Amino acid sequence: MAEFSKQWCEINDPERSWDFDILDEADKLKPNHYISYICEGFGFAGIAKDKEGNILLGFSDYDIDRTEWKTYKEVIDGSI
């Protein structure tokens, strides 16, 4: 079943019920840690905190076995 973050739903489909809140999940993380979390709407596969405590979202490219990390602000402001 597809999962959608609160933030994606607020921006793109306010009537849809959301499955998780990116900010709540990030608050649970220590710096330099991540958790696998898929948001079908934004297309990310992980939530992380860098050493400064900034929230990052990981976008996996399975063709080259690499994850590109983008800042929360970059994703939310860009409405990827």
Identify whether 76 is part of a domain.
no
pLDDT at 33 over 60: yes
Of 35 and 79, more confident? 35
Identify whether 32 is part of a domain.
yes
Query: pTM for this structure?
Result: 0.88
Identify whether 50 is part of a domain.
yes
Across the range 11-21, mean pLDDT stands at: 95
Identify whether 66 is part of a domain.
yes
Q: Which domain holds residue 65?
A: 6-71
**Total tally of structural domains belonging to the chain:** 1
Helical residues (DSSP H) of the chain, grouped into ranges: 6-12, 22-27, 72-78
40: Cβ–Cβ under 8 A, 6 or more apart, which residues? 2, 3, 4
List residues bridging with 71 in a β-sheet.
56
Identify whether 79 is part of a domain.
no
Identify whether 36 is part of a domain.
yes
Across the range 20-30, mean pLDDT stands at: 97
- Per-residue pLDDT at 5: 97
For tokens 């990116």, what's the residue? Answer: 22
Q: Is 6 helix (H, G, I), strand (E, B) or coil?
A: helix
